[in-house]
Structure 1
């Protein structure tokens, strides 16, 4: 993944011409793999709640959008006691 990560980062820098403004908030591959591992045994509806939240965080267009989404996602996850470990990790 290292080479692919570097290639993606370099492409963003080249296209946006904004090296100092590019901030990697998370490595999506590793987050997605870990979420899949930890959600395999959940009921499908809860699996969907978690994966939908993680995807929403990943595709945020700005840090502000990321933080706003995170607040809403954590509220949704807090409604489900079985998702406490996800809530704790992402808060």
Structure 2
């Protein structure tokens, strides 16, 4: 079963007295990200196709940030960072 993008969701359920957070997602992008970090607890299927995945995560691993990080760099700092990145990429090859 295909779930339209506008209807895909990720739900985080945290029990106040428990140590585990339940993360349920039908969003394919979020599932890929979560698969890289956590083991799947349960896979929900319909007509043999995955429609959702549930993860059980230690709630201490979840965090919320108050604001996105903003970097204020001068043109010189940007250029230096670019050079470092360029060297690191060349070193990888």
Which TM-score band (shorter chain)? under 0.3
The structure having more radius of gyration, on CA atoms, is: 2
More strand by share: 2
More helix by share: 1
- TM-score w.r.t. length of structure 1: 0.22
